Amino acid sequence: MAKVSVIGAGNVGATCVNAMLHLNFCSDIVLLDIRQGFAEGKAMDMMQTSKIYQFNTRLVGVTNDYKATANSDVVIVTSGMPRKPGMTREELIGVNAKIVSDVTANVLKYSPNCIFEIIANPMDPMTYLTLKKNKLSKHRVVGMGGLLDTSRFTYYLSRALDVPVSDIEGMVIGGHGDKTMIPLIRMATYKGIPITSLLTNDECNKVVADTMIGGATLTKLIGTSAWYAPGVSAATMAKSIIQDDRKMFPCCCYLEGEYDQKDICIGVPAILGKDGWEKVIEFDLNAEEKKLFAASADATRSTAKILYDQKLI
């Protein structure tokens, strides 16, 4: 038996649940929202696809009923305001910090041993807040941002090369912000061949730039932040945890010396298994990448500092 609860039945939360149903790795899923009847309706609609898609997961939607989330193995927190066009993820900090604090405290009353996957933005500080405010073991709190950014990165690489995305490997580390993420272009490959030997410098720079503004581009087009790629990225990470797959994903983890950083939650490659994030994998970054990571950490840390300044921790 594996139970996952998703807090927030909006665009990202509902899409994440839908992806989990299709990936078929949970016996039970609970979708919770503060809006009366909203999660119930979304859950009912999705369950009415079960015969067609042939999944047997039990999914229930509830309005603020945390008892229903009891004994969850993984809890995915999507509750929070999304971006409006022109907004940065960082601007959401005040309002979303209150929601995330409230929600995670409620979850822990009924699932004291759960692993949290944080999605609400600004995701890196929200991951830090969840960890610190609830005094949890660092391995039990992981943020989702790097996998989404990586999925955008590999998509743009596949378009630039005109090859299937399944033949591309790449990773984005650093903060989950338009200016803080670091698409590791030097390490990206097409079937083992370095991408930097296949694309010109300008083409590489364009892929990196498109990746970094990937979320903002969508927000401008749709009028709110994206949900398909965030939803399935969150579901994929939960699957590795529930099935103890021990796959490596870029995840937001609390660092204690890795990548020369301390007391920060930021995106790094990590192994995801039954106990949460198991260990951080240290890539052999060159001097330029190290500099970018240090700058990304400085920016991420200064956003997280707002939590202390505004007494939100």
Residues annotated as part of the active site: 176
Report the C-alpha gap between 172 and 181 in whole angstroms. 7
Whether the CB-CB separation of 118 and 126 falls below 8 Å is answered with: yes
- Which span sits near ligand APR by CB under 6 A: 44-52, 97-105, 107-115, 277-285? 97-105
3 state SS of 117: strand
Q: Residue length, the chain?
A: 313
7 part of the interface to ligand APR, by CB under 6 A: yes
Report the C-alpha gap between 286 and 263 in whole angstroms. 23
SS percent in the chain: helix, strand, coil, step 5: 50, 20, 30
CB of 102 to ligand APR, least distance (A): 6
116, HSE (Cβ side, Cα atoms, 13 Å): 35
11 part of the interface to ligand APR, by CB under 6 A: yes
93 part of the interface to ligand APR, by CB under 6 A: no
- Which span sits near ligand APR by CB under 6 A: 33-41, 163-171, 192-200, 201-209? 33-41
CB of 200 to ligand APR, least distance (A): 33
Q: Which of 179, 180, 199, 181 is nearest to 189 (CA)?
A: 199
CB of 282 to ligand APR, least distance (A): 28
35 part of the interface to ligand APR, by CB under 6 A: yes
Neighbours of 60 (CB within 10 A): 18
- 């202390």: which residue's tokens? 308
CB of 167 to ligand APR, least distance (A): 28
**Per-residue contact track with ligand APR, 181 to 220, x per CB under 6 A?**
----------------------------------------
10 part of the interface to ligand APR, by CB under 6 A: yes
Q: For 177, list phi and psi in degrees, rounded to 5.
A: -135, 155
What residues line the site for ligand APR (CB under 6 A)? 7-13, 33-35, 38, 78-83, 92, 96, 99, 102-103, 119-121, 224-225, 227, 230
